[in-house]
Amino acid sequence: MEQNLDLHFFRERLAQRLVELNELAETGDAAAKPVELDQTRVGRLSRMDAMQAQAMSIETKRRRESEVLRINAALERINNEHFGNCLECDEPISTARLKFDPSTLLCINCAESRE
């Protein structure tokens, strides 16, 4: 079943999200720097807090990079005219689902069957 998607809308939405992620990367990378272990300058609990913040920052960075990869793949699918179809069953992904997350790869049925 062929669906009529506004590819320009989705391309713009994905491009805007890439800009947002790049801006977040610029501000968030500083928090992922190694924690200083000098006990004369920082107490044990403060170091533990800093290490926890560092771990959270690293995970946030990993998720951001993963989202960038998904967005680039979605833009590639738009360019190759494969956007909007489920990668498993090749059925159209609902427009509402694509509007919520244009980088989604699966229709709702295939996504639910994976859970």
* Per-residue pLDDT tens digits for 19-75: 999 888 877 655 555 555 555 555 667 777 878 888 888 899 999 999 999 999 999
At residue 111, the 3 state secondary structure works out as helix
Q: Say if residues 74 and 83 touch (Cβ distance below 8 Å).
A: yes
Residue 68 lies in a domain: yes
Q: Say if residues 23 and 49 touch (Cβ distance below 8 Å).
A: no
Residue 41 lies in a domain: yes
The model carries a pTM of: 0.75
Residue 107 lies in a domain: no
Residue 46 lies in a domain: yes
d(CA 104, CA 95): 11
Residue 77 lies in a domain: yes
Tokens of 60: 């946030």
Mean pLDDT, the chain, whole residue set: 85
d(CA 69, CA 102): 13
Tokens of 83: 């956007």
Number of domains in the chain: 1
Domain that holds residue 39: 7-81
**Average pLDDT estimate for 76-93:** 94
Report the DSSP beta bridge partners of residue 92: 85
d(CA 11, CA 113): 28
